[in-house]
């Protein structure tokens, strides 16, 4: 499955590993991790499959065991989708 960003938001780095993300499409703000913000930035460039997301996060230096990585990515995708920031295509 491929994912894409619903809109290009604005970010504010809090300096403690979290990012305030403003979604102009809905007018909502969300507190997300810096890794989730990186993923959203990548998805605004173009759609990515779940496997491509794993490659992008590995390139950023997010490392964990394969099972932990898969669970972490699934949870992050689910969270971003629940905020209506990303959608499947």
Residue 40 is predicted with a pLDDT of 93
Q: Mapped to the 3 state alphabet, what secondary structure does the chain carry?
A: CEEEECCCCEEEECCCCEEEEEECCCCEEEEEEHHHHHHHHHHHHCCEEHHHHHHHHHHHCCCCCHHHHHHHHHHHHHHHHHCCCEEEC
- Kindly report the pTM of this predicted structure: 0.84
- In this predicted model, what pLDDT tens digit does every residue of 1-41 receive, in sequence order? 899 999 889 999 999 989 999 999 899 999 999 889 999 99
How sure is the predictor about 43, in pLDDT bands with cuts at 50, 70 and 90? very high
**Antiparallel, parallel or unpaired: β 2-5 and 86-88:** antiparallel
């Amino acid at each position: 499955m491929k994912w894409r960003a619903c809109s290009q938001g604005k970010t504010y780095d809090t300096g403690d590993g979290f990012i305030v993300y403003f979604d102009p499409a809905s007018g909502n703000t969300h507190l997300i991790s810096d890794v989730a913000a990186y993923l959203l930035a990548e998805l605004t460039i173009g759609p990515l499959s779940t496997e491509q997301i794993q490659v992008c996060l590995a390139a950023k230096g997010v490392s964990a065991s394969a099972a932990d990585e898969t669970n972490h990515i699934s949870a992050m995708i689910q969270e971003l989708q629940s905020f209506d920031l990303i959608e499947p295509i």
